[in-house]
Amino acid sequence: MAYVLGIDTSTTATKAILVADDGSVAGEASSEYPYETPQALWAEQDAGLWWTAAIDSIRAVLAQTAASGDHVKAVGLTGQMHGLVLLDEFDRPLRPAILWNDQRTAAECEEIRAAIGRDRLIATTGNDALGGFTAPKILWVRNHEPDIFARARHVLLPKDYLRLRLTGEYATDRAGAAGTILFDLAQRDWSQPVLADLGLDPAWLPETFEGPAITGTVTAAAAEATGLVAGTPVVGGGGDQAANAVGAGAVREGVAALSLGTSGVVFVTTDSPQIEPEGRLHAFCHAVPGKWHLMGVMLSAAGSLRWFNDELAPEVPVADLVASAAEVPAGSDGVLFLPYLSGERTPHPDPLARGAFVGLTVRHTRAHLVRAVLEGVAFGLRDSLDLIRETGVAVDQVRASGGGTRSGLWRQILADVLEAEVVALGTAEGAAYGAAVLAGVGAGWHASVEDATEAWVTLNDRTEPSGTDYSEANERYRALYPALRSTFHDIAATTD
């Protein structure tokens, strides 16, 4: 048998999947780990956890499938974006990695805008300075931990630390590198002017590669640790959302990838770099060579339903809650839910935004609240899709993945609110599967990523818009954040 291996280093676990040369998933294994929140708005993780979890997951999936290391022809990497891994001259992490969901860097974001100019920053990198990105984290360490900053010699993203442990090479993919906002989006490489303006040493940054390009091979030491064979190629891979889009076959214009997990993402491929002038969308390179993408992110999507279940109806299975919402008419009889339980990124980059139910009366039931949560998340995703459409990128199909898409009701609400066909995918493996697709191209099994997704990606249930009109409810939803913003900030000032 011949396989490729996809490895996804996420915030909570590292997953390894084996994919056969016909695109079928032969096996998968996952190893979990925690992250720390030592102060309010902080999120950190020990980089060593990723390597230990990768070893465990790789060995487990090989054992599960009775495969040996020499059956694996290439490895693809993906994982959480934007995290900061600072290494010393001996490749030792100098401090816990600062993660994508860390929000300590508001002052550093202003420092970046002042040094570069906000308009020039967006025009060059495709993005405004936001707390989740890598660049402000580097400046935070320089401002607050100067002794650590003085010892730094290398900057890596989380999955690229795993690449270093596998191959001994400093390398990154261009999709992930674009998420640092140290990247020239059009040129698909590090921006020397941005680095100069911020006073950062270009020698700290790894070489960049396209997603299917070979970045190195498994070392003898890594082979002994993992059960892989020394010399196995490791390809560039992609940041988790770019890899997820590859796994969904969203590799051409017109097809959007929608991820409905804890957070929610709307992702579209573009044939040239497209930038939302206000920086409300993320514009990054794709893991597909010569392609780019636009992406909107909401921080609490299916996480909103999980919160409701855990805190307000813990005795009720989530499937039963969703089923009860089917008895409520579209629009939830006037109840609206604002899903900003963790702050927000698109279209309101505001860590102090808050969640809210609006329009409640004594006649409303728990089922109304559940449906309002489902609709509120859909409205939040519609915000991103509308911004994408305003750039001139058409979307005629949405390929949906994530736990929330298992609900037929939620898929129908999404199709109606987004006004697009929603298609469920044949595999639930997401980013790890996309990393395996990129490895398959790197191994020479397919001539291009587009060819690989055409051959391997399968589609299941298709949900067409039913004709239900959500326009009025959507306009009411959009009015909520501007009306409540000052209240949210007042609350944050007195409670955070």
Q: Say if residue 466 is in the same domain as residue 494.
A: yes
159 lies in the same domain as 219: yes
122 belongs to a structural domain:
yes
What is the spatial distance between Cα 324 and Cα 296, in angstroms, rounded to a whole number? 30
Query: Tell me, what's the pLDDT at 496?
Result: 62
- 313, 316, 317, 321: CA torsion to nearest 10: -70
Pick the last residue of a domain from 236, 260, 277. Answer: 236
- Verify that 254 and 185 share a domain, yes or no: no
| Dihedral angle, C-alpha 200, 49, 51, 146, nearest 10 ° | 20
CB 76 within 8 A of CB 235: yes
Same domain for 430 and 355, yes or no, is yes
Same domain, 346 and 464: yes
> Who's near 461: CB < 8 A, 6+ residues apart?
408, 411, 423, 424
Tell me: do 265 and 401 sit in the same domain.
yes
> Which residues make Cβ contacts (< 8 Å) with residue 424, sequence separation at least 6?
400, 401, 405, 411, 459, 460, 461, 462, 463
241 lies in a domain?
no
Rg of the chain in Å (alpha carbons): 22
Same domain, 230 and 281: no
Rounded distance between C-alpha atoms, residue 204 and residue 75, angstroms: 25
Please report whether residue 242 resides in a domain.
Answer: no
Q: Quickly list DSSP for 298-344.
A: ES-SHHHHHHHHHHH-TTS-HHHHHHHHTTSPTTGGG-EEE--BTBB
The DSSP bridge partners found for residue 344 are: 350
Do both 300 and 186 map to the same domain?
A: no
190 and 311 housed in the same domain? no
Alpha carbon distance 398, 462 (integer Å) = 10
Let me know if residue 117 belongs to a domain. Answer: yes
Structure tokens at 125: 């990198």
Number of domains in the chain: 2
The domain of 188 spans 3-236
Are 389 and 307 in contact by the 8 Å Cβ rule? The answer is: no
243 lies in some domain: no
- Which residue, of 209, 236, 263, is where some domain finishes? 236
Tokens linked to 300: 């609490």
Q: 372 and 292, same structural domain?
A: yes
Q: pLDDT means per 10 residues in the chain (496 residues)?
A: 95 95 95 91 94 98 94 97 97 97 92 97 95 96 98 98 98 97 97 98 98 98 98 97 94 91 92 91 96 94 94 95 96 97 90 94 97 98 95 90 87 96 82 96 97 92 94 97 96 84
Q: If we measure between CA atoms, which residue out of 245, 175, 242 comes closest to residue 210?
A: 175
- CB burial of residue 486 (10 Å; 0-12, 13-18, 19+): exposed
Nearest one of 420, 401, 390, 392 to 255, comparing CA atoms: 420
197 flagged as catalytic: no
317 and 222 share one domain: no
| Residue 81 covered by a domain | yes
CATH number at residue 49: 3.30.420.40
Same domain assignment for residues 168 and 298: no
Whether residue 58 contacts residue 3, with contact meaning beta carbons closer than 8 Å, is answered with: no
Dist CA 236 CA 358 (whole Å): 46
Q: Which of 203, 236, 269 is the last residue of a domain?
A: 236
Q: What is the pLDDT of residue 406?
A: 84
Decide: helix, strand or coil at residue 39. Answer: coil
Q: How far is CA 155 from the centre of its chain?
A: 20
Catalytic residue chosen out of the listed positions 240, 333, 451, 490: 240
| Helix boundaries (H) for 401-496 | 408-418, 431-442, 449-456, 471-495
Strand 395-401 relative to strand 254-260, pairing: parallel
Peptide bond into 347 cis (omega under 30): yes
